[in-house]
Amino acid sequence: MNWPAVLTLAAGTYLLRLTGLVLRDRVTVPARVERYLDLGATALLVALVATAALTDGDGFAGWARPAGVAVGALLAWRRLPFVLVVVLAAATTGALRYLGVP
Amino acid sequence: MRSLYRTIDRSDLRDATALAAAVGVVGASYGALAAAADVSPAIAIGMSVLVLAGSSQFLVVAVVAAGGSPVAAVLGGLLLNARHLPFGLAMSGVVADRWPGRLLGAHILIDEVVAFARARGSGQRARAAYWTCGVLLATFWLLGTVVGLLAGSAVPDPSVFGLDAAFPAALLALVLPGLKRADARRVGLTAAVVALAATPFLPPGLPVLVGLLGLLAAGRDTTAEVPR
């Protein structure tokens, strides 16, 4: 990896981030489109959760990780504090791995 | 800006700090992996400051470690970060109203920060949450990177602590309240199914993007309905 590559990646990533922020302001969006933009963020975030919870590379992540995320989901649904959700999700997965679950 | 500090909710600060601490640990593993892949410390730190997008930085290190070219690393990283554009479209009103704030705020448009702020609506509290969470995450990511570079192979694999489950769980906890809306639930579920189905066939980054197809399940606007 060299500096030109790092700077290209940095500039490209920054422009992707900024473009969204600025475009929205430049164009007047009807309420209908606004709803889709908002739902679009939901779609991306849930897709991120699903792929991060269940996949590693192009395959299955193993059982320990989804189990931890499931525990986190249950706790979040029961409205436990966010910090607990995160810590107990990780602890579940860590404990399962310690016990030999992949 | 100064007024932001006064509007930070105490529990928001606590939650953002917890998230940032986890980010710091992952940053340490990034630093350690970079060191192992013979990525120079300056480049590794430079990426943590200038790119500030964890998954793409891990990808770059993986490509370099596998002997891939910098061009492949950059293209892969950009593909992975393409989702930030639609995130920006959705977050514009929360990040800032004017130019300096937008130019600065764009840099901390990170998945977790987006979810964290969105869980707090779209008003003053969401904006304070966005900036607090963003600045904390960026700081801990950098600190973690430096620690990882220094400690090298002494940094244990974060999967031992189950940290790879912490992030999807955190994101899920943050999006869950929004899924009370029936249309958001339909969109989210479809997005998850599509992204998972696409994962074996597409390069990293694209499956999440095709999750946008979940919008096809949006249906009619039912926001007027009473959420269950």
State what percent of residues in chain B have pLDDT above 70: 94
B219 touches B200 (CB < 8 A) = no
Instruction: Say which residue, B102 or A24, is predicted with more confidence.
Output: B102
CA–CA gap between residue B124 and residue B61 (Å, rounded)? 38
- For chain A, which residues make up each domain, given as ranges? 29-98
Q: Which residues of chain B lie closer than 8 angstroms to A97, CB-CB?
A: 159-160, 162
Q: Residue B68 corresponds to which tokens in the numbers above?
A: 């891939």
Taking CB atoms and an 8 Å limit, are B22 and A35 in contact across chains? no
Taking CB atoms and an 8 Å limit, are A17 and B77 in contact across chains? no
Q: Which residues of chain B lie closer than 8 angstroms to A48, CB-CB?
A: 83, 111, 168, 171, 195, 208, 211
Task: Kindly state whether residue B173 falls inside one of the protein's structural domains.
Answer: no
Query: Phi/psi at A55 (nearest 5 deg)?
Result: -120, 155
pLDDT of residue A50: 97
Domain edge (last residue) among B133, B161, B189: B161
- Using CB atoms, which residue from B70, B82, B169 is nearest to A72? B169
pLDDT digits (tens, 9 = 90+) for B45-89: 999 999 999 999 999 999 999 999 999 999 999 999 999 999 999
Taking CB atoms and an 8 Å limit, are A90 and B169 in contact across chains? yes
Task: Kindly state whether residue B174 falls inside one of the protein's structural domains.
Answer: no
Q: For residue B2, name the pLDDT band (cuts at 50, 70, 90).
A: low
Same domain, yes or no: B120 and B222: no
Q: Is the pLDDT of residue B225 over 70?
A: no
Q: Is the pLDDT of residue B4 over 70?
A: no
Task: Kindly state whether residue B224 falls inside one of the protein's structural domains.
Answer: yes
| Residue range(s) defining the domain that contains residue B222 | 181-228
pLDDT of residue B209: 95
Task: Kindly state whether residue B111 falls inside one of the protein's structural domains.
Answer: yes
CA angle A85, A88, A90 (to 5 degrees): 105
In chain B, which residue's Cα lies nearest the Cα of A31? B221
Number of residues that this document lists for chain B: 228
* One-letter amino acid for residue B217 of the chain: A
Task: Kindly state whether residue B166 falls inside one of the protein's structural domains.
Answer: no
In chain B, which residue's Cα lies nearest the Cα of A34? B90
Q: Which of residues 55-84 of A touch B (CB under 8 A)?
A: 55, 57-59, 61, 64-69, 71-73, 75-77, 81-83
Query: How far is residue B226 CA from its own chain's centroid?
Result: 31
Domain count for chain B, please give it: 2
pLDDT of residue B228: 45
A27 touches B115 (CB < 8 A) = no
What ipTM score was computed for the predicted complex, to two decimals? 0.94
CA–CA gap between residue B223 and residue B200 (Å, rounded)? 35
Same domain, yes or no: B104 and B42: yes
Same domain, yes or no: B188 and B155: no
Half-sphere exposure (Cβ direction) of A25: Cα atoms closer than 13 Å: 16
CA–CA gap between residue B93 and residue B108 (Å, rounded)? 15
pLDDT of residue B167: 93
Q: Which of residues 174-213 of B touch A (CB under 8 A)?
A: 174-176, 178-179, 183-184, 187-196, 199-201, 204, 207-209, 211-213
Task: Kindly state whether residue B175 falls inside one of the protein's structural domains.
Answer: no
- Using CB atoms, which residue from A43, A68, A72 is nearest to B187? A43
Task: Kindly state whether residue B167 falls inside one of the protein's structural domains.
Answer: no
* A99 min Cα distance to partner chain B (Å): 11
In chain A, which residue's Cα lies nearest the Cα of B16? A83
Same domain, yes or no: B142 and B199: no
The pTM assigned to this predicted structure is 0.92
Taking CB atoms and an 8 Å limit, are B196 and A55 in contact across chains? yes
| Summary count for chain A: helices (H), strands (E) | 4, 2
Q: Which of residues 26-55 of A touch B (CB under 8 A)?
A: 32, 35-55
Q: Is the pLDDT of residue A19 over 70?
A: yes
Q: Residue B10 corresponds to which tokens in the numbers above?
A: 């105490």
pLDDT of residue A29: 83
Same domain, yes or no: B82 and B126: yes
